[in-house]
A and B are shown apart, each in its own frame.
Chain A
């Protein structure tokens, strides 16, 4: 099956008769990227699944206001990032109490996750990521795992490339220090 373009999807979505078909193609095209962006942040599959669905429901409701001033991908990513950030903010409050009670890192759930295939170093990397502030975590995620260009991240987060480079650099330093404390 040939990959359908953004333009074709938007043309289908524009008309009531073909909106559902267009939306179905949109979900199929971007579901992997959206899901894994969120998954690497929230770690757990059930949460990533729920948030991914929320992202696409929002897209369905708001697609009529998309004017094409940016790429469709950028717009979708922005919604996903906002959803993930909102979750992190909610979770941050929850984690504080959880940390106080159990003294465990949130990334420790990876040890029981059958859907995690990474090795020990990977686990440590993801645990280190949980220590980053929400926005820095997102920047690191997009740059490191999705290998997005700074210009693309800049479009999504509405931040200058200079600020993004500095933030990413700090994130890398923090993570390296976490993995190799000596």
Chain B
């Protein structure tokens, strides 16, 4: 079979009145789409909404800046907390005893937990030696 016999012929038909109604159906679809668009546009053009949008934008920008700032602070704190104590000693040449010298007695007791038992006793002895009143009080208690 050769194809020439069917050339230019149309084997399809449309429902009755299809082409008569098609322009109106297309225009209807265009109109409904444009109505939706104009409602969206009108909503955005309303004064209250414009003010609300402006406030929202400023709030978002503000929140963004605040977020960056807080994040930076947290990062700095985190960085410091992650520095190992020993590496600080190596770097600065300060040892534990030098550090204790700069600490108040309460702080020394509080921080005692981070030291070994032996170091802890050493610290308590030092405190007792420096505080004669405390020692006297303890001696009286023992009596």
Contacts and interface: CB of A to CB of B under 8 A. Distances in A.
User: Considering the complex of A and B, which 5 residue pairs feature the smallest CB-CB distances, nearest first?
Assistant: A118-B11, A27-B23, A122-B11, A56-B26, A147-B8
Interface in A86-127: 115-119, 121-122, 125-126
Given A27-B22, A52-B22, A176-B3, A57 B15 contact: no
B6 A31 contact: no
B42 interface: no
A154 interface: no
Nearest to A28: B23
B15 A45 contact: yes
Nearest to A118: B11
Contacts of A117: 11-13
A36 B26 contact: no
B143 interface: no
Interface of B: 1-3, 5-15, 18-19, 22-23, 25-27, 29-30, 33
A31 B12 contact: no
Nearest to B25: A53
Contact of A122 (B6, B15, B23): B6
B8 A35 contact: no
A35 B23 CA distance: 12
A175 interface: yes
Instruction: Name the residue among B5, B9, B13, B25 with the largest chain A CB count within 10 angstroms.
Output: B13
Given A27-B26, A45-B14, A145 B8 contact: yes
B8 A115 contact: no
Contacts of B19: 28, 31-32, 35
A52 B19 CA distance: 11
A20 interface: yes
Given A53-B29, A175-B3, A40 B23 contact: no
B19 to A, nearest CB: 6
A60 B5 CA distance: 38
Contacts of A49: 18
A24 interface: yes
A144 interface: yes
25 contacts: A20-B27, A31-B19, A32-B19, A35-B14, A40-B12, A49-B18, A57-B26, A57-B33, A60-B30, A115-B12, A115-B14, A116-B12, A118-B11, A118-B12, A119-B11, A121-B1, A122-B9, A122-B11, A126-B11, A144-B3, A144-B7, A147-B8, A172-B3, A176-B2, A179-B3
Contacts of A20: 27
Contacts of B5: 121
Contacts of B2: 176
Interface string A35-61: 110011000010001001100110010
Nearest to A115: B13
Nearest to A40: B12
Given A144-B7, A147-B7, A180-B1, A57 B29 contact: yes
